[in-house]
């Protein structure tokens, strides 16, 4: 079958001495075909270049078409490309009432407003997809090329409720696709984003019961409270979000269901434990942390990694002059690690773009960070979790870390967002010995 939705693969880097370098491929070239076939994405590219022997590669350089031959006998081809998908991204066909993209404030980086729902990005980067826009050809490709694991936003299993939540008639059919993929041995991780009063309580019972009985092969189940942003074009009323009491109810319900699952027990997001004023459970709860990126188990893993790198507590006063940028949830995660006791200041930054209910470090605007730091006295250095920055060291509002340092008048240093990295970094700042 002829491939649809193909495009040029822009070469970003070529490894010295690799088959690609020997064939004369250079950064800035665009790969148009391999063995005469156009390419949809990196999956096509890597499959085509995984075969041994000689491969003809059609390239475009400065507007001219050319063809080179790669000798693929001697190891990896040595090409890095700029994008994962070369044609159009698959767009979302839903209209979810709680859409996070719709609730983004104006003026952020453009790619953030793209409503993608693309199984390739789920396989390659762990993005959650809804399965509502898959054609038969897409399903066949996932199965035949073993594009596994995939990450699925399920939210509910009742057909009527799914249609309502996704704002899409195809939402009911997507559970059939889910079953088919499971039958074919594709590994799937599911999330249920809970919207208070919409898909929780008896609806969550039904969803979890169906997951246990009809979708038992699902590898992991994450239960996540909806994020309530106040800064966007279309925002969700605060009544749909969770507070201490309602988060506690969800945790009790999820806890009861965990007893009824033999494996792949549902896991509640960190945010629910934070809201309920509870400590995160032990690592065993998370069964290998399959949904860390989804905010499920981050606090536990962070604490355990931090403590494993520290031979004892930091001495009292040893971290004076150092500050850590954090959020209310971040402070909760850092709670028992002895950092504040050692004299470091934990600066909780209110999110000036999304509102106070959105308190993940990854969405902190540079302007809010600079503003919060300006009022803090007696600090020489500030550590910022690197998750707040993109690959160009910019915050979500486009401000660079250097600009935020200038504005706040204090040096801000990005630290990889893990407990091990923070422990190592704090040892460097500690006066009078790290633990």
What residues line the site for ligand SF4 (CB under 6 A)?
A: 92, 94-96, 99-101, 115, 117, 130
- Alpha carbons 202 and 220: distance in angstroms, whole number: 21
Least CB distance from residue 264 to ligand SF4, whole Å? 23
- Residue 72 or 152: which CB sits closer to ligand SF4? 152
Tell me the Ramachandran region of residue 411: left when phi exceeds 0, alpha when psi lies from -120 to 50, beta otherwise.
beta
What single-letter DSSP state applies at residue 390? -
Least CB distance from residue 94 to ligand SF4, whole Å? 4
- Residue 37 or 88: which CB sits closer to ligand SF4? 88
- Residue 101 or 367: which CB sits closer to ligand SF4? 101
DSSP strand pairing (54-61 vs 30-34): antiparallel
Instruction: Tell me how crowded residue 273 is: count the other CB atoms within 10 A of its CB.
Output: 21
- Alpha carbons 333 and 53: distance in angstroms, whole number: 52
- Residue 8 or 225: which CB sits closer to ligand SF4? 225
On whether the CB atoms of residues 396 and 108 are closer than 8 A, the answer is yes
Return the ∠ at Cα 164 (arms to 158 and 166), rounded to 5°. 95
Q: If you compute the radius of gyration of the chain from its CA atoms, what whole number of angstroms results?
A: 24
Least CB distance from residue 91 to ligand SF4, whole Å? 8
- Residue 117 or 271: which CB sits closer to ligand SF4? 117
3-state secondary structure of 241: coil
Q: Exposed/middle/buried for 281, CB within 10 Å: 0-12, 13-18, 19+?
A: middle
- Residue 94 or 405: which CB sits closer to ligand SF4? 94
3-state secondary structure of 275: helix
- Alpha carbons 211 and 78: distance in angstroms, whole number: 42
Length, in residues, of the chain: 435
Task: List CB contacts of 375: < 8 A, sequence separation 6 or more.
Answer: none
- Residue 92 or 161: which CB sits closer to ligand SF4? 92
């Amino acid at each position: 079958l002829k491939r649809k939705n193909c495009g040029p693969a822009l070469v970003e880097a070529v490894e010295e001495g690799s088959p690609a370098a020997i064939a004369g491929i250079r950064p800035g070239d665009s790969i148009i075909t391999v063995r005469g076939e156009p390419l949809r994405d990196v999956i096509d590219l890597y499959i085509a270049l995984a075969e041994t022997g000689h491969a003809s590669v059609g390239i475009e350089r400065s507007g001219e078409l050319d063809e080179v031959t790669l000798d693929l006998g001697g190891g990896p081809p040595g090409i890095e490309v700029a994008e994962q998908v070369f044609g159009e991204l698959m767009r979302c066909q839903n209209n979810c009432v709680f859409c996070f993209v719709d609730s983004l404030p104006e003026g952020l980086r453009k790619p953030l407003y793209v409503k993608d729902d693309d199984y390739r990005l789920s396989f390659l980067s762990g993005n959650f997809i809804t399965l509502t826009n898959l054609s038969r050809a897409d399903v066949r490709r996932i199965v035949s090329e073993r594009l596994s694991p995939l990450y699925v936003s399920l939210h509910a299993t009742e057909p009527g409720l799914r249609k309502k939540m996704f704002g899409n008639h195809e939402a009911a059919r997507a559970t059939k696709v889910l079953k088919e993929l499971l039958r074919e041995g594709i590994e799937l991780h599911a999330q249920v984003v809970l919207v208070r009063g919409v898909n929780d309580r008896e609806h969550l019972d039904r969803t979890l019961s169906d997951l246990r009985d009809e979708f038992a092969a699902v590898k992991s189940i994450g239960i996540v409270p909806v994020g309530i942003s106040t800064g966007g074009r279309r925002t969700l009323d605060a009544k749909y979000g969770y507070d201490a009491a309602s988060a506690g109810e969800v945790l009790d319900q999820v806890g009861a269901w965990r007893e009824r699952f033999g494996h792949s027990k549902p896991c509640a997001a960190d945010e629910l434990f934070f809201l309920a004023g509870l400590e995160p459970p032990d690592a065993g709860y998370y069964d290998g942390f399959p949904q860390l990126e989804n905010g499920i188990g981050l606090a536990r893993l962070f604490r355990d990694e931090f403590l494993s790198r520290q031979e004892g507590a930091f001495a009292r006063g040893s971290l004076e002059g150092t500050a850590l940028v954090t959020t209310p949830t971040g402070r909760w995660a850092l709670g028992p690690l002895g950092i504040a006791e050692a004299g470091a200041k934990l600066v909780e930054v209110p999110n000036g773009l999304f509102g106070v209910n959105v308190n993940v470090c990854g969405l902190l605007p540079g302007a809010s960070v600079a503003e919060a730091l300006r009022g803090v006295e007696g600090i020489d250095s500030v550590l910022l979790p690197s998750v707040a920055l993109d690959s160009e060291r910019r915050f979500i509002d486009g401000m660079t870390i250097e600009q935020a340092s200038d504005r706040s008048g204090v040096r801000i240093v990005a630290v990889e967002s893990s407990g091990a990295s923070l422990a190592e970094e704090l040892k460097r700042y500690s006066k009078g010995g790290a633990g």
